[in-house]
Amino acid sequence: MYARRIFPVRGVLKWTRRHIFLFLILATIPVILFDILSMKWLRVPWLPLGVLGTAVAFIVSFKNNASYDRLWEARKIWGGIVNASRSWTIMVKDYIADDFASENVPESELKTIKRELVHRHVAWLTALRYQLRKDKPWEMHLKSKRSNKEFRSKQYLVCEDKEPVAEVIQAYISKEEYDEVFAKGNQASQLIGIQSKRLKELKTKGLIDDFRHMEMTNMLVEFYTLQGKSERIKNFPYPRQFATLNYIFVWVFIILLPFGIMDGFEDIGDHILKDLSTHTSRSSTIHQIREFIADHFEWFSIPFSALLAWVFHTMEAIGENTENPFEGGPNDVPITDMSRGIEIDIRQLIDDTDIPAPYTGKNDIVI
C-alpha cells in the first residue's frame, strides 16, 4: 500500500465528510416528522428492512470482492512486468556479443546497442503507463469530479497529468523512432515492434545467435501479453449493470433506514417510561428530565441511522474506488513509481549513467 497515510480513521472521515452530513440530515427529517409533527404512521417495520439490509450487504460484498480481484490482478500483472524487465535486461547484457559476428565489434559499440535496447524498454514502460492513465468515462475521478479533483490536487500528484508523454519518451528513443511511434495509435505496441525489428537486425549482423534471438523474442511476446492484460482491465470496467443497481440498492436502504430504526428507539423510550412510572418521586427535576428524554427517545436514532448509512455507503464507495486500479487514485497500483523503480534497476544492471532518482511524490504518496 503506497498511500498508507490516506486512510487512517481521520482520513476516512475527511474523505466521507460530505456524506456524513447528508446522512445526519436524512436521519433527522423522519424524526422531526414523527415526533414534532406527530406523523406516527411514518414508520417501516424492521423485518422487511432487515431483509433488505442483508441483501444489500451481500451485493456490496460481491462488488468489493470483484473490485479487489481487479486490483490484485493488476498488481500481479505489474509484478510480472518488473520481473520480465529484469530478465530482458540480463538477456540484453549477456546475449549481445560479437561471438558470431564476421568481424570484431568494439566494446563501446556493444555498450551503445545494449543501452539503446534498455532505453527503448523504458520508453515502452512510459508509454504503457501513460496509456493506462488515460481517462475513461466510467472512472471514479471523472464521475465525481469535484471531490476527487480537490482531493488529488491537495493530497498527491499524478505525474501523467502534468508531464506530456511525448516529452518524457523523447529522452529514451531516437528522432526517427519518435516520429514512427507517435504516427500510430498505440505507442507501447509500436515500441515493442521496433524492438523486434532491431533484434532481427542484430541477428543478421551476427551479434545474436538463433537461440538467443528466439529467447529474446519470447520476452517481447511476454511484454505484449502483460500489456494486453493491463489493457483488458483498463478498457473493460466492472459491469455497469451491477455497479448501478448496487448503488441504487444501497441508497434505497439508506433512505428507508431511519424510518425503521426510530420505531425501535420509540419502543425503548416506552419501556423507560414504564420503569419511571413505578418511581414515587415523580415531581423531582431529574425525574422530569428522564421522562422528557424517554418521551423523545427516537431522537437517539439519528446517530445510529447515520452510522449504519455511513458504513454501507463507505463500503460501496470503497468498491467503486477500487474497481479501476490504473486511474491514478491514492490506493491504486502505483505504476508510476514501479516504472521508475524498474528503470533504475535495469539501467544500473548495464552500468548506465544519469540514472534518475526515485519518485518522492507529494505528502509521501507515490502512485
pLDDT digit string, tens, across residues 110-120? 999 999 999 99
Q: Identify whether residues 216 and 135 lie together within a single domain.
A: yes
Half-sphere exposure of 31 (CA within 13 A, CB side): 25
Q: What is the per-residue pLDDT across 232-281, written as a single tens digit (0 to 9) for each?
A: 999 998 888 888 888 999 999 999 999 988 888 887 877 877 777 776 55
Summarised one tens digit per residue, pLDDT across range 179-193 is 999 998 899 999 999
* Same domain membership, residue 255 and residue 276: yes
Residue 210, domain member (yes or no): yes
68-77: pLDDT as tens digits: 999 999 999 9
| pLDDT greater than 70 at residue 168 | yes
- For residue 244, is it within any domain? yes
Question: For residue 48, is it within any domain?
Answer: no
Taking residues 336-355, what's their average pLDDT?
93
Is 244 found in the same domain as 174?
Answer: no
Give the CA radius of gyration of the chain: 30
Which residue is it, cell 510480472? 80
User: Would you state the pLDDT for residue 280?
Assistant: 53
Q: Are residues 97 and 228 in the same domain?
A: yes
Q: Does residue 115 form part of some domain?
A: yes
In a shared domain, residues 118 and 227: yes
Question: Do both 103 and 176 map to the same domain?
Answer: yes
In terms of domains, do 340 and 193 share one? yes
Please indicate, yes or no, whether residues 246 and 221 belong to a single structural domain of this protein. Answer: no
363 and 268 fall within a common domain? no
Q: Which of 33-42, 113-122, 271-280, 290-299 has the lowest mean pLDDT?
A: 271-280
Give the total number of structural domains in the chain.
2
Residues 219 and 364 in one domain: yes
**Closest C-alpha among 221, 225, 228, 219 to residue 131:** 228
Domain boundaries, position 9 = 1-42+239-322
Average per-residue pLDDT for the chain: 86
Q: 232 and 256, same structural domain?
A: no
Structure confidence at residue 67 (pLDDT): 92
Average pLDDT value for residue range 290-313: 87
Contact yes or no for 337/1 (Cβ under 8 A) = no
In a domain, 51, yes or no: no
**pLDDT value of position 175:** 94
Do 187 and 223 belong together in one domain?
A: yes
- Residue 285: inside a domain: yes
- Confidence (pLDDT) at 3: 43
Burial (CB count <10 Å: 0-12, 13-18, 19+), residue 319:
buried
